[in-house]
Every structure is written in C-alpha cells, then in structure tokens.
C-alpha cells in the first residue's frame, strides 16, 4: 500500500450557478465547496491558467485564432476554398478536415478549424500548437506537468484523444497498480451537453450523477491502495443560456470595407476581435460597434485589469464583447445557434467556477481558477517533504 494520492478532477463548465442549487453533489466525497472567479476567455484560456497558475497576459494562451499572415501555417489549406460551401459548412465535414489538418500540421494541442473561411485561412495563425496537458506545453512558462517531472512525481494525466470512460478506466488502473502519486483528470462531457441543452435541462442531473458515481469508484480504489487520499474537484467556468442572437457580421459587412485590405476580424461566439489596416477602417468600425446595444468595446484599462491585454495586439487591437446570454451567430465558431455558451465577462453570474475539496484546509485566498495550481504545487511539496523525511529516517 502506498502512502498518499492527490486527485485533481476538472469538470468542464460545472459552474457555480449550476452547482449552488444541487447541495447533494459530492456532499460525501468533497463536502467543502466554494465559488471561484474564472478568467476572461474560453477554455483555451482557462485550462492553461489552471495548469500554470498564471494569467493570460503571462502565459500567452488566450484565443485560438489570430491575424498573422506572416506566420500562418494554413497556406497549404487554401485549396479547400474550391470546395462548395454546402459541403464545408457541414460540421461532420469540418471535423474530418480538422483531423486531417491537425495530423498534417503536427499540432499537439486542441485544434479545430471551426468556421474560418477557407479563402482567408492563410491570414490566420493558431495559438495552441502545443498541448497544455503535456510538459513544455505552454506558450510561455511552465505548467504543473513540468513541475511534476522536475520533482520526479509519478502522475496520471487525461489523454484528450480518448473518451471520458477510457480516461476513467486508465486512471483506476494506475491507482490499482499503485503507479502514481498524483492525478489530473479532465472531463469535458458536461461542457458539450450544456452547449446543446442549456443550463436548466434535467439531463444535467443525469450527467452529474454519472460523474459522482465515477468519482466514488475512483475513491474506493484509491482508499484500497493508499493510506490517505486528497480530492479536489473543480471547473473552469460556467455556462449561460443564449436567448438572444446577434448577426454582427452583417453589421460590419454592411460598411462596405474588405477583410484583408481594410481590416481583419475573428468572430468568436461572444466577442469579435479586430485588426485595422487604416485609421478610416478603425473609425468606421468603432462607430458601428458603438451602435450595437448587445455589447460593448472593451477599454484597454479593463483588459489590463482582467489580465488579457497584449501590447502587441496579437489577439486583437480592439475587442468587442457581448453581454451574457447573447450569442454572435453566424460566427467563425459556427453558423448555427447553440443553446448555451461561455466566454462572457468574468463578473457575469454564469461565468463563476467551482471548487469542491475533501479537506477543509484550502487557503482562503484560493479565490480564482489560477489559484488551483497552488494546491497542486502544495501537493508536490508535501510529497517531496515526506520523501525527504523517509530518507532521513532510513539514514
């Protein structure tokens, strides 16, 4: 029997507003719960922030697509513009093309072509070429897996190319074989469900019950093979129902300017990020955005406060953010509406994340999702200290 196991389980999109009305969830396994502030952005931002303990302006993982023709890896995909849009707009076709492009480009992280127009794909670069779930996987700085390897701590980490069930079984096998002292499990199924059904569907309880059963199973195995176990279950953000749709593309297209010549833009689901080739284009687009009541231009001072200001403008020279519950559609993330979305302002109610712990000893200053990394570092430090003590006693 091994001494101790630290379990860190991330349930994507399991937000505070979803959990606060479900006090029974993990009440036995992890009864100490609190609300955590998220970061401004999508999972492309949240996950690296959790794994590194740093904010987006430090680790440089924010949004996926940026305007960068000089460094674009997508020139070889321009031939796809000759395929009929009726074909390439179908999600199943996009998934197949994404899989082929990821393999050809050698990307290791999460990658999706989404709805980026193929006739302009050569204008873009993609920012997550490496996987933040692997050592040396950050755009800047270390993550927890670098630190685990430096400390020579045997660990489990989710393989995002496998199913949730496969990762569950692989973790349980590692526990039963006593191969690990630390685990980072990442389940994304709830996020996909909420996008499809919204945050008030009865299907949520079914999914949460499934997760709780899996966690119970894992804990039972852990307690059979480890003298003590610490469990932290947490999320990266919540999910807001999208009851309003905004066709921002038509507003900007109606100005009569050309993408690539006058400006460039990435339309995410909740924000639009602009780059300008002339002062005239900047003025005209700003004037148009100021008349859109569903959102607002993010001031530079606020972007700095949220730790998402990038002086080089690589993620956008101007950021337009819609209010919670509004969905930009069509967008470069999809042509059709979905039921719910995240990526709104971190102060919006549905943006808040959650933390459940088996121990009451979580410091009070663990208030935001980057602070979860501190709990993971503490686990490494405690194990290193215990190992040193064992060696000292043996000596």
Q: Where are the domains of the chain?
A: 2-57+131-240+348-394, 65-126, 243-337
pLDDT tens sequence across 214-223: 999 999 999 9
Q: How far is residue 37's CA from residue 305's CA, in Å, rounded to a whole number?
A: 14
Q: How far is residue 186's CA from residue 183's CA, in Å, rounded to a whole number?
A: 10
Q: How far is residue 208's CA from residue 43's CA, in Å, rounded to a whole number?
A: 20
392: confidence class by pLDDT, cuts 50, 70, 90: very low
3-state secondary structure 246-267: ECHHHHHHCCCCCECCCEEEEE
* pLDDT of 386: 63
On whether the CB atoms of residues 134 and 83 are closer than 8 A, the answer is no
DSSP lists the bridge partners of residue 340 as 241
Average pLDDT of the segment spanning 302-327: 97
Residue 84 backbone class (left: φ over 0; alpha: ψ -120 to 50; beta: rest): beta
Helical (H) or strand (E) element with 276? strand 271-276
Distances (CA, A) of 77 to 102, 175, 363: 11, 43, 49
pLDDT tens sequence across 285-301: 999 999 999 999 999 99
Average pLDDT of the segment spanning 344-362: 98
Average pLDDT of the segment spanning 100-116: 87
Q: Indicate whether 36 pLDDT > 80.
A: yes
* pLDDT of 388: 52
Q: Indicate whether 307 pLDDT > 60.
A: yes
* pLDDT of 385: 67
Instruction: Tell which wins on pLDDT, 3 or 85.
Output: 3
Give the pTM: 0.93
Q: How far is residue 71's CA from residue 69's CA, in Å, rounded to a whole number?
A: 6
Q: Indicate whether 394 pLDDT > 70.
A: no
Domain 243-337 coded CATH 3.30.1360.110: yes
Domain 2-57+131-240+348-394 coded CATH 3.40.720.10: yes
Give Cβ neighbours of residue 140 (< 8 Å, ≥ 6 apart): 58, 59, 60
Average pLDDT of the segment spanning 374-383: 94
Q: Indicate whether 382 pLDDT > 70.
A: yes
pLDDT tens sequence across 142-182: 999 999 999 999 999 999 999 999 999 999 999 999 999 99
Q: Indicate whether 227 pLDDT > 50.
A: yes
């Amino acid at each position: 029997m091994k001494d101790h196991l630290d379990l860190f389980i991330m349930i994507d999109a399991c937000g505070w507003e979803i959990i606060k009305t479900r006090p029974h969830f993990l009440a036995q396994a992890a009864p100490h719960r609190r609300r955590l502030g998220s970061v401004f952005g999508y999972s492309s931002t949240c996950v690296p922030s959790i794994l590194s303990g740093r904010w987006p302006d430090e680790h440089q993982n924010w949004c996926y697509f940026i305007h960068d023709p000089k460094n674009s890896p997508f020139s070889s995909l321009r031939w796809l513009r000759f395929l009929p849009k009726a074909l390439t707009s179908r999600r199943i076709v996009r998934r197949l093309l994404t899989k082929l492009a990821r393999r050809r480009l050698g990307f290791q992280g999460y990658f999706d072509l989404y709805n980026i127009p193929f006739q302009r794909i050569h204008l873009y670069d993609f920012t997550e070429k490496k996987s933040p779930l692997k050592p040396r996987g950050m755009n800047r700085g270390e993550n927890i897996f670098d630190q685990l390897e430096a400390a020579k701590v045997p660990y489990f980490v989710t393989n995002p190319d496998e199913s949730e069930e496969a990762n569950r079984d692989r973790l349980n096998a590692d526990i039963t074989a006593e191969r690990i002292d630390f685990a980072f499990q990442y389940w994304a199924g709830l996020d996909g469900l909420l996008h499809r059904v919204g945050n008030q569907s009865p299907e949520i309880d079914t999914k949460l019950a499934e997760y709780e059963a899996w966690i119970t199973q894992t804990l039972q195995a852990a307690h059979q093979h480890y003298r003590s176990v610490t469990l932290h279950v947490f999320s990266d953000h919540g999910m807001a129902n999208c009851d309003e749709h905004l066709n921002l593309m038509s507003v900007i297209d109606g100005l009569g300017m050309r993408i690539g010549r006058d400006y460039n833009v990435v339309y995410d689901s909740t924000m639009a990020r602009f780059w300008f080739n002339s002062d005239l284009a900047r003025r005209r687009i700003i004037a148009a955005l100021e008349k859109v009541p569903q959102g607002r231009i993010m001031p530079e001072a606020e972007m700095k406060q949220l730790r998402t200001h990038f002086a080089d403008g690589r993620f956008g020279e101007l950021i337009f953010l819609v209010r919670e519950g509004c969905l930009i559609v069509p967008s470069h993330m999809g042509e059709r509406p979905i039921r719910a979305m995240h990526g709104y302002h971190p102060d919006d109610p549905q943006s808040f994340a959650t933390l459940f712990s088996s121990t009451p000893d979580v410091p009070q200053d663990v208030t935001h999702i980057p602070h979860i990394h501190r709990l993971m570092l503490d686990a490494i430090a405690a194990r290193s200290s215990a190992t040193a003590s064992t060696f000292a006693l043996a000596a």
